[in-house]
Amino acid sequence: MSLSPQTLPSLETTPIPGLVVVRLDRRGDDRGFFKENWQREKMLAVGLPDFGPVQNNVSFNSDRGVTRGIHTEPWDKFISLATGRIFGAWVDMRQGETFGATFTLEMDTSAAVFVPRGVGNSYQVLEDATAYTYLVNDHWRPGVTYPALALGDPTVAIDWPIPLGEAIISEKDQNAPALDPSTAMAPKRTLIVGALGQLGRALFAAHPDADRVDLFAGEGVAQLDLGDTAAVDAWPWHEYAVVLNAAAYTAVDAAETTEGRVASWAANATGPATLARLAREHRFTLVHYSSDYVFDGTAPLDPGHTEDEPLSPLGVYAQSKAAGDLAVGLAPRHYLIRTSWVIGDGKNFVLTMKALAEKGVSPSVVDDQVGRLAFTDELVRATRHLFDTDAPFGTYNVSNGGAPMSWREIAQAVFERSGRSADDVSGTSTTAYAEGVLAQGNPFAPRPLNSALSLEKIRATGFEPEDALVALDRYLS
């Protein structure tokens, strides 16, 4: 038997979205045959999803005429034969336009079929001693009833080669229900972690069907502490396709205290590490939002900090965010979105300056820290763009566009839009500001003087950031 290098398999699409036939390279002689039934690199090379199988099952069928299904479990399958021949039949049981669509195929050991979650699977044995094998990417759970469909349902009208009256069928399969749209399988859901913060609220506005959790419960928001092992273990992570992690400890100065240090590391490092582990185990895509603070601010203003710049955090908050970045990078499917100077629905710098302008106050604002505002709606738009364009997983800088500005220049822009003169905002240095804070007995964390992030990578995906001043006008209107 030849053991020469196997050629790549080929894929054939079907009327059921995501269901594909895989033609395998089977080599045989008078002794038998050899095939690479599953070879991850080759399967990915021809376009099969990296579905992460965790279990291999074999269903041995002694007699021709055995008929099994139609079963609809909430996981993906890769089906093939070790021996024999079958007539396979599949029915789309997912919510959507293709609900009830069917596909049939006579299979021998040279073919395989990838069956996505929510597609009903069945087969009829055409030869004695047929060994039906399948990889799955989740474990069967005792006590859980999965959807099924009657083998002879007239709506889908599968043309079985052996009449069902002559077939060998289990009692359970004989009593399966008829096709019912009300039982269609819903897609996996989205979970927003840190749902009560500025970014979390913006994400929910864009994903109103998402589940929401936070450290503290709120209206429509469940409580989930990622540091609580029992609570994390009890959460149904397998039900989610996407987890958006907007949770963070953002009290930059308080992080320099004993209590703040613990809280900062718990939220910004341990929490993301837990989510990265869960993303590996449950195969969801993890989106994590990070900070310009992971850099020390010494990069040139043009182009600014790039995604591949070595991490160089200054203070405790910055170090905890950098640790979270490293952990998230270990998740197989992740988007790590680094941003700066976030403005959304809640207490923030822009609204503070607006309030001061309206009260007639003339503040002194730091003028040697430079960066770009990132409005939460822009972060939401960029996140959706990465998914819509199927952008490669990895790290992306995201903020609003335009020329980098100092905090003082931003304050002046707010004052002008509030009917005040830009001259009413004076400047001060970070050093002078820090001295004032420390003199009052309060903690102060070091700041990167350059927080401008290079936006070239996100632009290369076709996303054009909106100018920060244009976004500011809309925000204040």
List the catalytic residues: 71, 134
Buried/exposed code over 238-247 (b: 16+ C-beta within 10 A; e: otherwise): bebebbbbbb
Measure Cα distances from 281 to 230, 236, 277, 298, 332 in Å: 16, 12, 6, 38, 10
CB 191 within 8 A of CB 117: no
Name the DSSP class of 281: H
Name the DSSP class of 145: P
State the helix-helix crossing angle for 376-388 and 198-206, rounded to 10 degrees: 50
Beta bridge partners of 94: 185
CB 358 within 8 A of CB 397: no
Give first-to-last CA distance, the chain, whole Å: 76
User: Can you tell me whether residue 378 is helix, strand or coil?
Assistant: helix
CB 397 within 8 A of CB 459: no
C-alpha span between 19 and 181 (Å, rounded) = 20
Q: Which helix (H) or strand (E) holds 171?
A: helix 171-174
Parallel/antiparallel/unpaired status of strands 211-214 and 222-223 = parallel
**Angle at the Cα of 306 from the Cα atoms of 300 and 307, rounded to 5 degrees:** 160
Beta bridge partners of 107: 86
C-alpha span between 446 and 433 (Å, rounded) = 11
CB 284 within 8 A of CB 244: no
Beta bridge partners of 60: 131
CB 393 within 8 A of CB 459: no
Distance of CA 157 to the CA centre of its chain: 37
C-alpha span between 108 and 88 (Å, rounded) = 10
Burial of 158 (0-12, 13-18, 19+ CB in 10 A): buried
CB 458 within 8 A of CB 338: no
C-alpha span between 456 and 461 (Å, rounded) = 9
Could you tell me which residues come within 8 angstroms of residue 432 by beta carbon, excluding any fewer than 6 positions away?
none
